[in-house]
Protein backbone atom coordinates (compact mmCIF):
# COMPACT_ATOMS: atom_id res chain seq x y z
CA UNK A 1 0.00 0.00 0.00
CA UNK A 2 2.83 2.41 0.84
CA UNK A 3 4.54 1.63 -2.47
CA UNK A 4 1.34 2.42 -4.39
CA UNK A 5 1.01 5.78 -2.58
CA UNK A 6 4.65 6.61 -3.27
CA UNK A 7 4.24 5.76 -6.96
CA UNK A 8 1.15 7.98 -7.31
CA UNK A 9 2.85 10.81 -5.42
CA UNK A 10 5.93 10.65 -7.64
CA UNK A 11 3.77 10.61 -10.78
CA UNK A 12 1.80 13.69 -9.67
CA UNK A 13 4.94 15.50 -8.53
CA UNK A 14 6.70 14.79 -11.82
CA UNK A 15 3.70 16.00 -13.82
CA UNK A 16 3.44 19.19 -11.75
CA UNK A 17 7.17 19.86 -12.09
CA UNK A 18 7.03 19.35 -15.85
CA UNK A 19 4.02 21.67 -16.18
CA UNK A 20 5.69 24.35 -14.06
CA UNK A 21 8.88 24.13 -16.14
CA UNK A 22 6.98 24.46 -19.41
CA UNK A 23 5.01 27.46 -18.17
CA UNK A 24 8.07 29.16 -16.70
CA UNK A 25 10.09 28.74 -19.89
CA UNK A 26 7.30 29.90 -22.15
CA UNK A 27 6.98 33.25 -20.38
CA UNK A 28 9.98 34.72 -22.18
CA UNK A 29 11.11 34.66 -25.78
CA UNK A 30 14.79 35.00 -26.62
CA UNK A 31 15.09 37.57 -29.40
CA UNK A 32 18.87 37.87 -29.71
CA UNK A 33 21.55 35.38 -28.66
CA UNK A 34 24.72 33.78 -29.95
CA UNK A 35 22.59 31.05 -31.58
CA UNK A 36 20.21 33.48 -33.32
CA UNK A 37 21.59 35.59 -36.12
CA UNK A 38 19.31 38.59 -35.52
CA UNK A 39 20.70 42.11 -35.26
CA UNK A 40 19.98 44.09 -32.13
CA UNK A 41 18.52 46.96 -34.14
CA UNK A 42 15.92 44.64 -35.71
CA UNK A 43 14.84 43.03 -32.42
CA UNK A 44 14.67 45.98 -30.02
CA UNK A 45 11.98 48.67 -30.30
CA UNK A 46 11.64 51.85 -28.28
CA UNK A 47 9.01 52.07 -25.52
CA UNK A 48 9.00 48.28 -25.02
CA UNK A 49 10.44 46.38 -22.06
CA UNK A 50 13.20 43.81 -22.53
CA UNK A 51 15.54 41.82 -20.33
CA UNK A 52 19.16 42.24 -21.41
CA UNK A 53 21.67 39.57 -20.40
CA UNK A 54 25.18 40.95 -20.49
CA UNK A 55 28.40 39.07 -21.29
CA UNK A 56 29.34 38.97 -17.59
CA UNK A 57 26.03 37.22 -16.74
CA UNK A 58 24.23 40.17 -15.16
CA UNK A 59 20.71 41.02 -16.25
CA UNK A 60 18.93 44.34 -16.66
CA UNK A 61 15.20 44.68 -17.27
CA UNK A 62 14.60 48.04 -18.90
CA UNK A 63 12.05 49.91 -20.99
CA UNK A 64 14.01 51.08 -24.02
CA UNK A 65 13.85 54.82 -24.64
CA UNK A 66 16.66 55.25 -27.19
CA UNK A 67 19.09 53.24 -29.30
CA UNK A 68 22.13 54.46 -31.15
CA UNK A 69 25.14 52.86 -32.86
CA UNK A 70 26.94 51.98 -29.61
CA UNK A 71 24.42 51.70 -26.76
CA UNK A 72 20.84 51.14 -25.68
CA UNK A 73 19.30 53.52 -23.17
CA UNK A 74 16.22 53.02 -21.04
CA UNK A 75 14.59 53.13 -17.64
CA UNK A 76 14.58 50.29 -15.14
CA UNK A 77 11.63 49.39 -12.91
CA UNK A 78 12.53 52.19 -10.47
CA UNK A 79 12.72 54.87 -13.19
CA UNK A 80 16.53 55.04 -13.10
CA UNK A 81 18.21 55.64 -16.47
CA UNK A 82 20.36 52.72 -17.64
CA UNK A 83 22.83 52.69 -20.54
CA UNK A 84 24.06 49.35 -21.90
CA UNK A 85 26.82 49.08 -24.46
CA UNK A 86 25.71 46.94 -27.42
CA UNK A 87 29.04 45.10 -27.41
CA UNK A 88 28.30 43.90 -23.85
CA UNK A 89 24.90 42.33 -24.67
CA UNK A 90 24.84 38.54 -24.89
CA UNK A 91 21.04 37.98 -25.07
CA UNK A 92 17.83 39.96 -25.32
CA UNK A 93 14.63 38.44 -23.93
CA UNK A 94 11.04 39.68 -24.11
CA UNK A 95 8.23 38.74 -21.74
CA UNK A 96 5.38 36.87 -23.45
CA UNK A 97 2.56 36.65 -20.90
CA UNK A 98 -0.25 36.36 -23.46
CA UNK A 99 1.43 33.38 -25.09
CA UNK A 100 1.80 31.69 -21.73
CA UNK A 101 -1.86 32.23 -20.87
CA UNK A 102 -2.99 30.84 -24.24
CA UNK A 103 -0.78 27.77 -23.90
CA UNK A 104 -2.09 27.14 -20.37
CA UNK A 105 -5.73 27.46 -21.44
CA UNK A 106 -5.14 25.12 -24.39
CA UNK A 107 -3.44 22.47 -22.26
CA UNK A 108 -6.15 22.59 -19.59
CA UNK A 109 -8.91 22.40 -22.21
CA UNK A 110 -7.24 19.42 -23.87
CA UNK A 111 -6.75 17.70 -20.51
CA UNK A 112 -10.47 18.05 -19.76
CA UNK A 113 -11.98 17.41 -23.20
CA UNK A 114 -9.87 14.52 -24.53
CA UNK A 115 -10.48 12.12 -21.60
CA UNK A 116 -14.18 13.04 -21.59
CA UNK A 117 -14.60 12.04 -25.24
CA UNK A 118 -12.23 9.07 -25.07
CA UNK A 119 -14.33 7.35 -22.39
CA UNK A 120 -17.65 7.80 -24.19
CA UNK A 121 -19.24 4.97 -26.13
CA UNK A 122 -21.51 5.48 -29.13
CA UNK A 123 -25.23 5.67 -28.40
CA UNK A 124 -26.88 2.26 -28.42
CA UNK A 125 -23.89 0.23 -27.25
* Per-residue pLDDT tens over the stretch 100-110: 777 777 777 77
Please report the beta strands in 27-121, taking only residues with DSSP state E, as ranges in sequence order.
Answer: 28-32, 49-54, 59-67, 71-75, 81-85, 89-95
Which CATH number characterizes residue 58's domain?
2.30.30.100
Q: Per the domain annotation, does 8 fall within a domain?
A: no
Domain count for the chain? 1
**Residue 15 domain-assigned (yes or no):** no
| Helix or strand holding residue 6 (H, E) | helix 2-26
* Total count of residues recorded for the chain: 125
Q: Does residue 117 belong to any structural domain of this protein?
A: no
Instruction: Give the integer Cα–Cα distance in Å for 55 and 33.
Output: 11
- Domain around 61: 28-95
Assess if residue 10 is contained within a domain. Answer: no
CA dist., res. 48 & res. 64, Å (int)? 6
Q: d(Cα 78, Cα 31) in Å, to the nearest integer?
A: 24
Rounded to an integer, the average pLDDT of 54-77 is 90
Q: Residue 39 pLDDT more than 90? A: no
Mean pLDDT of 47-57: 89
Amino acid sequence: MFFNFKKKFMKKTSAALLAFTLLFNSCTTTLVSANKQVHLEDAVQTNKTYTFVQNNGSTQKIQVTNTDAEQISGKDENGKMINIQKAEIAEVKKNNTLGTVLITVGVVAAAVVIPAYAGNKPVGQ
